[in-house]
Amino acid sequence: MALPGDPAERHRVVAAGFTARVEGTTDWDAPAPVPGWRARDVVGHLVEWFPAFLSSATGLELERGPAVTDDPVAAWTVHTEAVQRVLDGPDAATPFEHPMVGTMPLPVAVSQFYVSDIFMHTWDLARATGQDEHLDEDTCAEMLAGMEPIDDLLRSSGQYGPRVAVPDDADVQTRLLGFIGRDPLHR
């Protein structure tokens, strides 16, 4: 099943999947697949980088919840609801102009840069906390097809670790995770 193409709906669906893992987490100090991260750091990453990115490109300020260190569930809930309000409301028409990524419609930018990050980090939180690790197969294929041609650019950004080798006949989720530097075959 492919995710919705509409950016607001896509965020709603992807964020709901991440929210389910947030709400299912019982050990916020569990090690995450990203070196040096704990489960709470996965949530912290998402609620910390995106508000500054959005503000620098649009001037919009998202409502902030409690610190992730104090209450990761509430921090995520306040954050994701604020992002959804932007996508569902009149702020979605705000021009998005970022010096590193150019000019594009705000909903497209949110989907391309942020929703894709939520999607991939859903696996990180699920793996860290022993929850359902399944990601949408069609979206994994779409993302992998879009990322492989710009492998060098992505690696040079510092946002992705070294590619992890996986079998050539691995399913598309395993190939995507290996591409972004995760080792999905080992715990």
Domain boundary assignment for the chain: 7-134, 136-187
Per the prediction, the chain carries an average pLDDT of 94
Q: How confident is the model at residue 187 (pLDDT cuts 50, 70, 90)?
A: low
Q: Which two tokens stand for residue 1?
A: 């099943």
CATH of domain 7-134: 1.20.120.450
- Which DSSP string corresponds to the chain? -PPPSSHHHHHHHHHHHHHHHHHH-S-TTSBPSSTT-BHHHHHHHHHHHHHHHHHHHH-------S-TTT-HHHHHHHHHHHHHHHHHSGGGGSEEEETTTEEEEHHHHIIIIIIHHHHHHHHHHHHHHT------HHHHHHHHHHHGGGHHHHHHTTSS-PPPP--TT--HHHHHHHHTT--TT--
Q: Rounded CA gap, 18 and 115, in Å?
A: 10
The pTM for the full model equals: 0.94
Tens digits of per-residue pLDDT, 94-148? 999 998 889 999 999 999 999 999 999 999 999 999 999 999 999 999 999 999 9
Tens digits of per-residue pLDDT, 56-81? 999 999 999 999 999 999 999 999 99
Q: Rounded CA gap, 164 and 182, in Å?
A: 6
